[in-house]
């Protein structure tokens, strides 16, 4: 599992001084509950900032992340009419957008945007529309960037065939259990083999989903664009006293990709009110009203930049992303929870079941989702979804 560890106070102060010369920090304290990067809030005489150590095990070339963010920020400044706000980068004393510590870890400092808040669940359609607007503006900004100027920061991210291959490898190698879990915790799982068999049957019946977006790319029906990579609900900042979304954060996976992945991930996260940790299939539902609010606001920004085939693929994208995440959760369960942090062994299996239940609910509502797309993008009928006998995951 990717874990973050606290840094000694003196070391943190030294890193802060690499950005803010002569500005002794009044306070440095951990910020948020991120699973990848170590994050701190810095309050000094010069203001409040976010200090992050980029996880080199996940992102082996953090300079590429910072180069992408610098380019994107310059683009946002050059196009204020697009209304995209990004957390401002603080340059180090040597002029670079990062500092290296004595262990060669890469650190960055950014503007701390306040007053602001994050949401763990959408409370109304106004908030949903704001998310669609912000994501659409972000993609419009990215359309102004030459992809040759952008690095790939996380190769293979959102490449669904790769995640299926990883699952198949995990099945061949056999289930693993981390030594961090007691045998008592593991032995309560008498139903796991049956549940795993059911998930594998579910996956097999939806095998065509794995390649649907990659095939569209290969056939020239869509193209690579600038994506955020992880536009889930808690990666957006909202105003403290209103429903207005301020900006997208967590920009480490900004890179060339398919914006269908961004759309699908945004809808997956925002329209499933019970979230990724839901334990029961019957709790999981795709909220059509929230989905329409997001897509309507997104379409206002992006309908003129998408071709008919790309618009028609939105419904498939909404299915692909929870399906892909289910593959990843199941693989991590079989490998002993190496990637996603969990409270106990079995959590990743339950999360996989929840994602596949969301896929099933999206399938049941596919016609309604296609109608939403047509109303807001002016699209023609989307291609028929794959049919066949499928397990009931309601």
Q: Is residue 319 part of a domain?
A: yes
Q: Read off the pLDDT of each residue in 172-182 and give the average, rounded to a whole number.
A: 65
Q: Is residue 4 part of a domain?
A: no
Q: Is residue 330 part of a domain?
A: yes
Tally of domains in the chain? 2
Q: Read off the pLDDT of each residue in 247-275 and give the average, rounded to a whole number.
A: 94
pTM for the full model? 0.88
26 and 147 share one domain:
no
150 and 206 share one domain:
yes
Question: Is residue 282 pLDDT above 90, yes or no?
Answer: no
- What does the alpha-carbon distance between residue 73 and residue 91 come to, in Å, rounded to a whole number? 13
Question: The domain spanning residue 26 has which CATH number?
Answer: 3.30.200.20
**pLDDT tens figures, 7-60:** 666 889 889 999 997 766 678 999 876 657 889 999 988 899 999 999 888 898
The phi-psi region of residue 348 (left if phi > 0; otherwise alpha if psi is between -120 and 50; otherwise beta) is: alpha
281 and 157 share one domain:
yes
Q: How many residues make up the chain in this entry?
A: 394
Q: Is residue 132 part of a domain?
A: yes
For 255, the enclosing helix (H) or strand (E) is strand 255-257
* End position of a domain, from candidates 68, 88, 114: 114
The candidate with the shortest Cα–Cα distance to 295, out of 327, 326, 317, 279, is 317
Note the pLDDT of residue 299: 98
62 and 147 share one domain:
no
Residue 71 lies in domain: 9-114
Which residues does residue 47 pair with via DSSP β-bridges, in sequence order? 44
For 139, the enclosing helix (H) or strand (E) is helix 125-142
* End position of a domain, from candidates 53, 83, 114: 114
Q: Is residue 391 part of a domain?
A: no
Share of the chain above pLDDT 90, in %: 73
CA distances in angstroms from 282 to 183, 269, 389, listed in the order given: 30, 17, 20
């Amino acid at each position: 599992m990717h874990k973050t560890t606290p840094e000694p106070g003196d070391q943190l102060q030294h890193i802060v001084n690499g950005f803010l010369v002569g500005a002794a920090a009044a306070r440095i304290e951990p910020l948020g509950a991120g699973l990848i990067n170590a994050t701190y809030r810095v309050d000094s005489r010069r203001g409040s900032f976010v200090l992050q150590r980029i996880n080199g095990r996940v992102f082996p070339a953090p300079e590429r992340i910072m180069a992408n963010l610098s380019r994107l920020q310059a683009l946002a400044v050059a196009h204020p009419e697009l209304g995209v706000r990004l957390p401002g980068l603080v340059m180090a004393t040597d002029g670079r957008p990062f500092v290296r510590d004595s262990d060669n870890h890469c650190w960055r400092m950014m503007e701390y945007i306040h007053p602001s808040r994050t949401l763990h669940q959408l409370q109304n359609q106004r908030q949903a529309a704001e998310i669609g607007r912000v994501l659409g503006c972000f993609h419009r900004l990215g359309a102004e960037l030459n992809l040759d100027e952008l690095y790939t920061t996380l190769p293979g991210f959102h490449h669904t065939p790769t995640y299926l291959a990883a699952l198949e490898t995990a099945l061949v190698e056999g289930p693993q259990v981390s030594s961090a879990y007691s045998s008592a915790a593991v032995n309560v799982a008498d139903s796991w083999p049956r549940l795993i068999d059911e998930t594998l049957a579910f996956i097999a019946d939806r095998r065509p989903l794995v390649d649907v977006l990659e095939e569209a790319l290969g056939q020239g029906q869509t193209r690579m664009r600038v994506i955020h990579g992880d536009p889930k609900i808690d990666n957006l900042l909202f105003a403290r006293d209103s429903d207005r979304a301020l900006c997208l954060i967590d920009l480490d996976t900004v890179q060339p990709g398919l914006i269908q992945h961004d759309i699908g991930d945004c809808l997956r996260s925002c329209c499933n009110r019970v979230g990724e940790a839901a334990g029961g299939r019957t709790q999981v539902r795709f909220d059509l009203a929230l989905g329409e609010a997001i897509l309507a606001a997104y379409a206002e920004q992006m309908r003129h930049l998408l071709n008919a085939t790309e618009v028609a693929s939105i419904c498939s994208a909404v299915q692909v992303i929870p399906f892909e995440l289910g593959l990843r959760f199941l693989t991590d369960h079989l490998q002993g929870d190496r990637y996603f942090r969990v409270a106990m062994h079995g959590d990743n299996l339950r999360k996989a079941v929840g994602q596949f239940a969301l896929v099933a609910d999206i399938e049941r509502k596919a016609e309604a989702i296609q109608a939403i797309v047509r109303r807001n993008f002016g699209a023609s009928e989307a291609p028929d979804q794959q049919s066949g006998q499928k397990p009931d995951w309601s």
